[in-house]
């Protein structure tokens, strides 16, 4: 029997490539990540958030020091276990909260001994982000875990130089402001602020393209603080829209592009897991508008997009467990029917072997999320562009560029009709 099977498989082998190549499988493999369940409403009136005590956490006898005294830090306590492992205690800003356990701290030591650490999260939330480490806060490397007795341990040798350790690369509101001012120096970008956050920080915005055009594209991001990979996808996408390609150049002649890169500056700078400084998930407040951040966007767009002007499309960048696009159900038609479906189809052609994971997530009001609000209010073809927490940097760049090329081609064709 065994022999017969062997002969059969060998005989079939030469024909296998015709059954389906690796790049275009006849049936795509089943996906592990199913995406999120339909969005439910939650109260979005402001709630208290717990203030994080900023301090140095000293272990004098071992000459090991940890600190959360910097922007976007999160470190609530440290305890030293019998085996010498430093257990990092992390708490969210308030509860209930989505399980995106952000952390960021510095560590240094008065000797060359390795420092081993583990993580404990309030509410038994599971570890989600593998630690990234940096000596200069610019270049980051992921730490590999060793699992001992079911506990993930990480080891660094900080020495007297400070090491930053964070759930994702640190990208604060000043980093975003620097990125915007770099763009402003080189390109025809106009930056401004559309209002203030709960703690009084500016909600940054910029625009480019043809300021006389009646056709708009809106790009928004970072409603949720830890979603740094989504921010990277946003920057890759926007930088491609500002590049010299033929399609993007003619796109800029015919469209106005508005970018709101960081809707939750307080949450980012306070090192929150999910919420704004009002203790609320901003991406559930697009029906009640209880928070200053969502109100600022609503009021700005009302003033900017007036009678006879059209918000053709809107892309909201996020991060989650794996790459996925959340769409408005295709049965609902907006300003450019079929745009999102055609766009995502083009992405499969531009990135060989890539099959986008697409899940309709908006069917009817109320509009708790920004993408559904923009669809219902403006007829904008809306999509949530989610990048995986661990998606490779080069793929994020490739996808950002391909996305910009495909979208501008389709919108150029649309207005040429
Ligand atoms: Zn998000």
- Kindly report the CATH number assigned to the domain that includes residue 129: 2.60.40.3120
Which residue positions in the chain have pLDDT lower than 50?
A: 1-26
**Given 133, 166, 199, which residue is the final one in a domain?**
166
Same domain membership, residue 204 and residue 149: no
At 306, which CATH number?
3.40.630.10
How many distinct structural domains can be found in the chain? 2
Confidence at residue 16, expressed as pLDDT on a 0 to 100 scale:
32
**Given 106, 134, 166, which residue is the final one in a domain?**
166
At CA 383, angle to CA 195 and CA 227, rounded to 5?
A: 60
Q: Which domain holds residue 195?
A: 173-416
Same domain membership, residue 131 and residue 243: no
Same domain membership, residue 184 and residue 102: no
Same domain membership, residue 260 and residue 228: yes
Same domain membership, residue 259 and residue 380: yes
Question: Which DSSP state fits 74?
Answer: B
Residue 234 neighbours by CB under 8 Å, 6+ apart: 219, 221, 222, 259, 261, 317, 385, 400
Same domain membership, residue 189 and residue 160: no
CA of 254 to the centre of ligand 1 (A): 30
CA of 226 to the centre of ligand 1 (A): 8
CA of 316 to the centre of ligand 1 (A): 9
Confidence at residue 3, expressed as pLDDT on a 0 to 100 scale:
36
Confidence at residue 307, expressed as pLDDT on a 0 to 100 scale:
94
**Given 136, 166, 196, which residue is the final one in a domain?**
166
Same domain membership, residue 402 and residue 375: yes
Confidence at residue 186, expressed as pLDDT on a 0 to 100 scale:
85
How many residues are present in the chain? 417
- Is 386 a known active-site residue? yes
Question: From the candidates 386, 393, 405, 413, which is the catalytic residue?
Answer: 386
Q: How deeply is 371 buried, as exposed, middle or buried, from its count of CB atoms within 10 A (0-12, 13-18, 19+)?
A: buried
Per-residue pLDDT tens for 313-365?
Answer: 999 999 999 999 999 999 999 999 999 999 999 999 999 999 999 999 999 99
Confidence at residue 5, expressed as pLDDT on a 0 to 100 scale:
35
Confidence at residue 152, expressed as pLDDT on a 0 to 100 scale:
97
Same domain membership, residue 162 and residue 224: no
């Amino acid at each position: 029997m065994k022999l017969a099977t062997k002969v059969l498989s060998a005989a079939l082998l030469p024909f296998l490539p015709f059954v389906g190549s690796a790049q275009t499988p006849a049936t795509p493999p089943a996906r592990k990540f199913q995406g999120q369940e339909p969005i439910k409403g939650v109260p979005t009136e402001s709630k208290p958030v717990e203030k994080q005590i900023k301090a140095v956490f000293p272990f004098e006898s071992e000459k090991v020091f940890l600190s959360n005294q910097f922007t976007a830090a999160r470190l609530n306590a440290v305890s030293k276990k019998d085996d010498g492992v430093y257990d990092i205690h992390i708490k969210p800003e308030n509860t209930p909260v989505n399980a995106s356990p952000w952390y960021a701290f510095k560590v240094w030591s008065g000797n060359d001994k390795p420092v081993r650490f583990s993580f404990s999260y309030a509410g038994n939330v599971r570890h989600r982000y593998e630690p990234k480490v940096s000596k200069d806060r610019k270049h980051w490397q992921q730490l590999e875990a060793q699992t001992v007795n079911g506990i993930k341990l990480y080891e660094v040798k900080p020495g007297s130089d400070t090491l930053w350790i964070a759930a994702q690369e640190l990208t604060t509101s000043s980093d975003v402001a620097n990125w915007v001012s770099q763009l402003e120096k080189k390109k025809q970008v106009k930056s401004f602020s559309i209002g203030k956050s709960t703690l009084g920080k500016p909600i940054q915005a910029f625009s480019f393209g043809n300021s006389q055009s009646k056709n708009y594209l809106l790009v928004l991001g970072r409603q949720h603080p830890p979603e740094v990979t989504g921010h990277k996808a946003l920057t890759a996408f926007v930088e491609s829209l500002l590049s010299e390609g033929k399609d993007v150049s003619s796109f800029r002649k015919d469209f106005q592009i508005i970018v709101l890169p960081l809707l939750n500056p307080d949450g980012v700078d306070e090192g929150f897991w999910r919420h704004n400084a009002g203790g609320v998930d901003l991406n559930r407040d697009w029906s009640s508008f209880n928070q200053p951040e969502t109100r600022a966007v609503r009021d700005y767009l009302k003033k900017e997009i007036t009678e006879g002007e059209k918000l053709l499309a809107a892309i909201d960048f996020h991060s989650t467990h794996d790459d996925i696009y959340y769409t408005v159900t295709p049965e609902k038609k907006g300003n450019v029917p079929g745009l999102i479906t055609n766009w995502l189809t083009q992405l499969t052609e531009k990135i060989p072997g890539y099959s986008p994971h697409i899940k309709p997530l908006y069917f009817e009001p109320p509009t708790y999320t920004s993408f559904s609000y923009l669809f219902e209010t403006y007829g904008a073809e809306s999509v949530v562009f989610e990048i995986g927490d661990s998606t490779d940097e080069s793929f994020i760049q490739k996808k950002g560029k391909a996305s910009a090329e495909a979208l501008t081609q389709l919108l150029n064709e649309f207005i040429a009709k």
